[in-house]
Structure 1
């Protein structure tokens, strides 16, 4: 198997993002798929957790062409669709129809300008 970052697309509100920093995108489900309860005598009960929430973190270079779009979405609180598609040998996808940016990213200015890290709340996470 071979991984190529160019096989990964991140799509926000129908727009393909470009100008990623070294760490492009991470996606995390908010809760486990199952929880287990153990009784006093060692009996177990497994319960499926139906929580559809997740979090994505998208890291863009400060001069990414889509930085303004992301800042506008962060300020507006608007819901948007979100997807991460990995093509190539091992195809994967993460999709949601409803997402929003939690807050504006931190700004760093020094010897070099810092990256912009956007935390996105995913309301109906689907991982395939």
Structure 2
């Protein structure tokens, strides 16, 4: 018998500096480590060295609707000197990603047309991790 796992977007919570982000856009959130865990180096005779990359940077992009109650909170993080914790938790998939030291990279692109387009807030996470939760 096939193993079927349930997924519901409502099981995903996003917290920035202990504030729950709501009014999410269609793309909601994405996270990615900025570099690979290692870089191979091949010598002239074919010897290979797996050089470990110690870069812990990651990028988390949060997409909100322009009517999100937390839009002004997120905009207020622009240029703030302090790091803030940023965690994305999905209870249904038993996973979380983010870190304890994040900063907003820049203001989101502002585009207003016939429809109210979503806004993307891109954060640099300096201690980015992906973890399985219980």
Q: Tell me if structure 2 keeps the 8 A contact 1:10–1:82.
A: yes
Structure 1 unaligned regions, length at least 5? none
* 2:98 paired residue number: 95
Q: Could you tell me how far apart the structure 2 residues matched to 1:95 and 1:75 are?
A: 20
Q: Hey, which of these two has a bigger chunk of helix by percent? A: 1
Match of 2:19 in 1: 15
Could you tell which deviates more after superposition, 103-112 or 17-26?
A: 103-112
User: For 1:11 and 1:71, how far apart are their aligned partners in 2?
Assistant: 15
Moved over 2 A (4+): 75-78
Q: What is the aligned length?
A: 127
| 1:113 aligned counterpart, secondary structure | coil
Instruction: Give the drift of 1:77.
Output: 4.5
> Counterparts of 1:25-40 in structure 2 under 5 Å?
25-40=29-44
Q: CA RMSD in A?
A: 1.1
Give the secondary-structure state (helix, strand or coil) at the position aligned to 1:76: coil
TM-score by length of 1: 0.94
Instruction: Tell me the secondary structure at the aligned position of residue 69 of structure 1.
Output: helix
Match for residue 129 of structure 2? Answer: 126
Separation in 2, partners of 1:76, 1:47: 35
Question: Does 1:48 pair with 2:52?
Answer: yes
In the alignment, which residue of structure 1 is the partner of 2:80? 76
Match of 2:120 in 1: 117
Query: 5+ unaligned residues in a row in structure 2: which ranges?
Result: none
Residues in 2 aligned to 1:38 and 1:65: alpha-carbon distance in whole angstroms: 52
